[in-house]
């Protein structure tokens, strides 16, 4: 299946060249920036120029592939290609650095672990041809991390849409209203999206009435990015402020809440953008199915529950600012980026976790490319081993 021609491409790869759209400047300014090294990938991830669990994993892996691929054609060959051991010494700190860019999304660590495993498990001659062979295996794996994402997103979106359509309240109406949090579309993945993909699928099969989405403060992934993606795909949608979820549920029939995930623990506890937990509590109060859509790579079977998920806290200042654009009166065609502080200067004590954990007990279904895991209301955890 080809992606919609209007879908926004967050990550462009052409041979060894990698470009990302600078998500800090969206939705008004669409600038692509080149990522020329793993260091630049680290900076882009850390500064949120690219964000979203699968997307940051893809960029990190691709930056390593591209580095190695360019090295293979250098003459004279760089010293780290002298032997597999030299390559291991060179790459290990690079992988560690990338791994530390953001802590909560397990996909990043998972992608790095895939590369590290190839590196560590390589046994062969200690000569240059062997180092080149090892580099080739790493290049292939890095590209695979990014390439495999779109296909699985389409698969899980179909499974998720089917499941949502089959729920009792959904069966009583031709079209559904859903709510989502944060941004889980093309900008957060390699394409199509996870929870956003489910919404896209509902729209494609003419089952979507309206996609409500929260602004997702303080970074506004909803009002800046999800808004733009929904608009570019002409998907009917309505923005709400984060504080309006309860009111939305009181006054509208909402058939499902669909969200992505940054890390899912073995029992199904799920870390996702801050505000997801609030939506889950309110969904339970209003008897609305709460659905998590994420690739298997987001499931961390090494941790028993959500209390083990490291939660990233962002700098205080980020919660005190909004980014946008202004239009100079002399040139109404050319928006200029502006950042506005809306708190008094000097406010530096801010509680600013980037994610919260929704207990499995509040989740109705976890959808992956392998299928849908469900549990009844009285159960407080999932058995994910069936779909791993
Ligand atoms: O801080 P962000 O913007 O990287 O957070 C992103 C989210 O929480 C997404 O919902 C999650 O990564 C799933 S993306 C398919």
Rounded Cα distance between 161 and 299, Å, is 20
Check pocket membership of 273 for ligand 1, CB cut-off 6 A. Answer: yes
Output the six-digit token pair for 110.
């998972």
Which residue intervals of the chain are DSSP H helices? 38-46, 53-72, 84-99, 106-121, 128-165, 168-171, 195-204, 227-232, 245-251, 276-285
Give, using CA atoms, the residue closest to atom 10 of ligand 1.
Answer: 260
Mutate which of 157, 273, 277, 323 for ligand 1 pocket (most atoms within 8 A of beta carbon): 273
Instruction: Please give the number of the atom of ligand 1 that sits closest to the Cα of 51.
Output: 4
Q: What is the pLDDT of residue 375?
A: 86
Rounded Cα distance between 275 and 280, Å, is 9
Check pocket membership of 182 for ligand 1, CB cut-off 6 A. Answer: yes
Q: What is the pLDDT of residue 108?
A: 97
Rounded Cα distance between 115 and 118, Å, is 5
* Contact between 185 and 229 (Cβ < 8 Å): yes
pLDDT in tens, 85-110: 999 999 999 999 999 999 999 999 99
Whether pLDDT at 294 is above 90: yes
pLDDT in tens, 322-345: 988 888 888 878 888 899 999 999
Check pocket membership of 354 for ligand 1, CB cut-off 6 A. Answer: yes
Check pocket membership of 230 for ligand 1, CB cut-off 6 A. Answer: no
Whether pLDDT at 119 is above 70: yes
Check pocket membership of 105 for ligand 1, CB cut-off 6 A. Answer: yes
SS (H, E, C) 148-176: HHHHHHHHHHHHHHHHHHCCHHHHCCCCE
76-85, 190-199, 272-281, 371-380: which has the minimum mean pLDDT?
371-380
Active site positions, annotated? 262
pLDDT in tens, 14-24: 999 999 999 99
Angle at 216 between CA 188 and CA 352, to 5 degrees: 100
DSSP state of 2: P
Q: What is the pLDDT of residue 1?
A: 62
The share of the chain scoring above pLDDT 70, in percent, equals: 100
Which residue shows structure tokens 């990522």?
35
181 alpha carbon – ligand 1 mean position (Å): 9
pLDDT in tens, 17-45: 999 999 999 999 999 999 999 999 999 99
Q: What is the pLDDT of residue 336?
A: 87
pLDDT band at 216 (very low <50, low <70, confident <90, very high): very high
Phi/psi of residue 11, nearest 5 degrees: -135, 120
Whether pLDDT at 127 is above 90: no
DSSP state of 379: -
Whether pLDDT at 114 is above 70: yes
Tell me which of 70 and 1 has the higher pLDDT. Answer: 70
Whether pLDDT at 221 is above 90: yes
Q: What is the pLDDT of residue 147?
A: 94
Tell me which of 356 and 7 has the higher pLDDT. Answer: 356
Check pocket membership of 108 for ligand 1, CB cut-off 6 A. Answer: no
177 alpha carbon – ligand 1 mean position (Å): 22
Straight-line distance from the first to the last Cα atom of the chain, in angstroms, rounded to the nearest whole number: 25
pLDDT in tens, 164-206: 999 999 999 999 999 999 999 999 999 999 999 999 999 999 9
Give the pLDDT mean for 201-221: 97
Q: What is the largest CA-CA distance in the chain?
A: 69
Q: What is the pLDDT of residue 302?
A: 94
Rounded Cα distance between 160 and 293, Å, is 7
Q: What is the pLDDT of residue 234?
A: 97
**Average model confidence (pLDDT) across the chain:** 95
For residue 385, the tally of other CB atoms under 10 A from its CB is 9
pLDDT band at 387 (very low <50, low <70, confident <90, very high): confident
Contacts with 245 (C-beta within 8 Å, 6 or more apart), sequence order: 179, 214, 278, 279, 282
User: How many residues would you count in the chain?
Assistant: 388
102 alpha carbon – ligand 1 mean position (Å): 11
* Contact between 135 and 71 (Cβ < 8 Å): yes
With CA atoms as reference, report the closest residue to 171 among 289, 294, 292.
Answer: 289
260 alpha carbon – ligand 1 mean position (Å): 7
51 alpha carbon – ligand 1 mean position (Å): 6
């Amino acid at each position: 299946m080809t992606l919609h021609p209007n879908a926004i491409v967050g990550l462009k790869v052409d041979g060894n060249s990698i470009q990302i759209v600078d998500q800090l400047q969206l939705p008004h300014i669409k600038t692509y920036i080149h990522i020329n090294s793993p260091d630049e990938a680290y900076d882009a991830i850390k500064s949120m120029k690219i964000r979203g669990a699968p997307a940051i994993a893809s960029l990190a892996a691709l930056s390593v592939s591209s580095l190695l691929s360019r090295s293979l054609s250098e003459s004279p060959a760089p010293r780290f290609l002298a032997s597999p051991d030299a390559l291991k010494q060179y790459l290990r700190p690079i992988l560690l650095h990338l791994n530390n860019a953001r802590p909560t999304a397990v996909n990043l660590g998972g992608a790095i672990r895939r590369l590290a495993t190839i590196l560590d498990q390589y046994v062969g001659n200690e000569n240059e041809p062997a180092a080149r062979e090892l580099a080739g295996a790493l290049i292939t794996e890095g590209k695979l991390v990014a390439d495999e994402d779109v296909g699985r997103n389409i698969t899980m979106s179909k499974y998720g849409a089917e499941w949502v359509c089959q729920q009792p309240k959904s069966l009583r109406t031709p079209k559904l209203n859903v709510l989502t949090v944060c941004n889980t579309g093309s900008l957060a993945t390699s394409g199509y999206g996870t929870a956003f993909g489910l919404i896209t699928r509902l729209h494609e099969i003419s089952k979507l009435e309206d996609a409500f989405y929260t602004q997702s403060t303080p970074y506004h992934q909803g009002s800046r990015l999800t808004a733009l993606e929904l608009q570019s795909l002409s998907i009917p949608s309505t923005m709400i402020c984060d504080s309006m979820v309860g009111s939305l549920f009181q006054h509208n029939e909402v058939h499902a809440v669909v969200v992505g995930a940054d890390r899912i623990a073995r029992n199904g506890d799920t870390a996702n953008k801050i505000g997801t937990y609030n939506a889950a509590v309110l969904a339970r109060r209003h008897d609305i199915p709460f659905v998590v859509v994420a690739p298997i790579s987001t499931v961390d079977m090494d941790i028993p529950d959500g209390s083990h998920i490291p939660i990233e806290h962002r700098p205080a200042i980020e919660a005190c600012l909004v980014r946008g654009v202004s239009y100079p009166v002399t040139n109404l065609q050319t928006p200029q980026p502006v950042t506005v502080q809306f708190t008094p200067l000097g406010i530096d004590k801010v509680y600013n976790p980037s994610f919260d954990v929704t207990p499995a007990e509040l989740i109705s279904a976890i959808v992956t490319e392998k299928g849908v895991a469900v549990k009844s209301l009285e159960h407080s955890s999932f058995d994910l081993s069936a779909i791993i």
